[in-house]
Amino acid sequence: MDHPIGFDVLRNPRLNKSTAFTEEEIERYKLRGLIPAVRCSQETQMQRVMENLRRKHADIERYIFLQALLARNERLFYRTVVQHIEEIMPLIYTPTVGQACKEYAHIFRQTIGLYIASRDRGRVREILDNWPDKDVRVIVVTDGERILGLGDLGTNGMGIPVGKLALYVACAGIHPHQGMPVTLDVGTNNQELLDDPLYLGTKIRRLRGQEYDDLVEEFVMAVQDAFPDALLQFEDFMTPNAYSLLNRYRDRVLCFNDDIQGTAAVALAGVYASTRLSGLDFADLKVMFLGAGSAATGIADLMVQAFMQTGLDEQQARERLWFVDVEGLLVKGRDDLMEHNLPYAHDHTRTDFVGAIRSIRPHVLIGATGHAGTFTREVVELMAEINPLPTLFALSNPTSHAECTAGQAYEWSRGRAIFASGSPFAPVKYKGRLYRPRQGNNVYIFPGVGLGTVACKARRITDQMLLVAAQTLAGLVDEDDLATGGIYPPLADIRNISLSVAVAVAEQAYAQELAREPRPDDLRRAIAESMYDATY
């Protein structure tokens, strides 16, 4: 087929280079007169992008600006994100993506991604054929019921798959045409959305039960037929569905739940790294979770495997892990626990959060509540009373929902806390010492896991793959990071981090005989050479 020419080139985001086209390209694509006479390098274009981005007064406006850039010039967007990842990632993902999802129908410019509605039952495979790219390797799908800590946002939740796939490209070099964001439009129970004339989703109450399961089954099986090499990532499903879908499909197809498994691996990596500061042996740790949803329980499930690697049996491993929910400590005898909580209900007197800390004396506190301020001053001071270096993970997103701020953690612990959060916090100066807390963001894990499984064409994702991903990430934290309180490596090095994680995951897939692609002689080099380069 002949190459597009003229405005068809300028209006194609994958082809458009705007003012960076060479003289030869201008002649070939008949662009003379359609762009200014002065040629610019991609570096100059990035300078212009950043100048305009920083001129905006609100993060949501910066988000809209960046999405417009992506729709106009794909390579310039991704090159700019890679070069300025620490500044831009909070704008294209957490925390700004939370606001973007809440307002998605109101800031809608053009359709991105694939929507599969409840009325499409029986036609899902046909709908997948409408997607223009046929070499799809990563699909991120949500039903919008539990978007970050914001709840049921229906089809407004499309911002999450779009954002995650942008990070797959920028952070791990998955090619843009190999990603597909999907929203299952199965209704919403958010009355505000149902009453909103601009809402773009089906205005029905959420599909439940067999009808819901049948639609998801049809979608998953259609993906296997249309895109047999694709990794299917479940994102922001409500806890019961998240676990049900993961348990149903994890041994049948190449799939992954980032909220459960990605969060687990990144948190485990942080705990591994924290022991280098605390001086404690990992096998001796007692860990307490505030919140007992899919994220917290996913972390605990992977930690059980990590503890068992140290020589503990399964029961001993579970006894290291304690949970507190809105009703207090999870203990045997409670009749209000979900199935995934039952293995962590121990013999103990029922008590509240503070009482649980006093009696159990955990070394590590992990918050996954979705509610701000739940790590109160009393809680942090009590952890600091029990531990010389208390370890606190305030993982809830977006930033406004964090269990405590970095400043509070350091002030209330008198500068002794080992702290990480799910969303970014600025450096903190306390009594003359500068702390640079790192964000325990899933971006350290899921892009590398995806890259590794895609590179070797893995059949499944196993717990062993997630363990090696966590161990690899923890091993990339150096002494300079630890000296300023960082228990994750610098985000600026995310491409190399993702490559290292990908190599470890692929190696594990080969070891478990789950890879369909023949192993290259130099696995790291082969994966590195496959990564997308946005440079013109």
Judge whether 531 and 499 are in contact, CB under 8 Å: yes
Catalytic residue among 78, 93, 249, 430: 93
Is 430 one of the catalytic residues? no
Is 93 one of the catalytic residues? yes
Round to whole Å and give the CA distance between 342 and 399: 30
Round to whole Å and give the CA distance between 350 and 71: 54
Round to whole Å and give the CA distance between 180 and 164: 10
Round to whole Å and give the CA distance between 28 and 30: 6
Query: In degrees rounded to 5, what are phi and psi of residue 310?
Result: -85, -5
Judge whether 258 and 441 are in contact, CB under 8 Å: no
Round to whole Å and give the CA distance between 436 and 428: 7
- Give the residue carrying structure tokens 């080969």: 510
User: How far lies 90's CA from each of 76, 98, 335, 410, 426, in Å?
Assistant: 18, 10, 40, 23, 12
Burial class (CB in 10 A: 0-12, 13-18, 19+), 532: middle
Catalytic residue among 164, 168, 444, 488: 164
Q: 443, 453, 449, 455: which is closest to 525 by C-alpha?
A: 455
Angle, CA 351 vertex, CA 406 and CA 238 arms, to 5°: 65
140: tokens are 């991120």
Beta strands in 395-501 (DSSP E): 418-421, 428-430, 433-435
User: How far lies 486's CA from each of 196, 435, 471, 496, in Å?
Assistant: 43, 8, 16, 18
CA 94 distance to own-chain centroid: 9
Q: What type of residue is 384?
A: A
Q: 401, 367, 399, 402: which is closest to 383 by C-alpha?
A: 367
Judge whether 476 and 500 are in contact, CB under 8 Å: yes
**Non-local CB neighbours of 19 within 8 Å, separated by 6+ positions:** 35, 36, 38, 39, 40, 45
Round to whole Å and give the CA distance between 304 and 248: 21
Q: 88: how many CB neighbours lie within 10 A of its CB?
A: 22
Q: What is the dihedral of CA 7, 13, 16, 18, to 10 degrees?
A: 90
Residues annotated as catalytic (active site), given as ranges: 93, 164
